[in-house]
Amino acid sequence: MNDFKLKLILSILGGVVFSFIFILLTFALPVKKKSNMVYLKKPKGKLEIISHSLKNN
């Protein structure tokens, strides 16, 4: 086989494997949102409501 054809085939194969790894990583790793609203609990009592309103102002 020609040396140029071998390098071409190996570089194409390397690119396909490299991109396949990143495609698998996008599905495997979870996406984290920076929003704080997801983790906040709803205030229950009157003091918690006042404290929540003071923190958000």
Contact by Cβ (8 Å): 53, 43: no
Contact by Cβ (8 Å): 43, 52: yes
Domain edges within the chain: 3-56
pLDDT at 7: 95
pLDDT at 27: 83
User: How many angstroms separate the CA atoms of 55 and 36, rounded?
Assistant: 13
Rounded to an integer, the average pLDDT of 23-48 is 71
Alpha-carbon distances of 40 from 1, 10, 15, 46, 55, rounded to whole Å: 63, 51, 43, 17, 12
pLDDT at 39: 57
Give the global pTM: 0.46
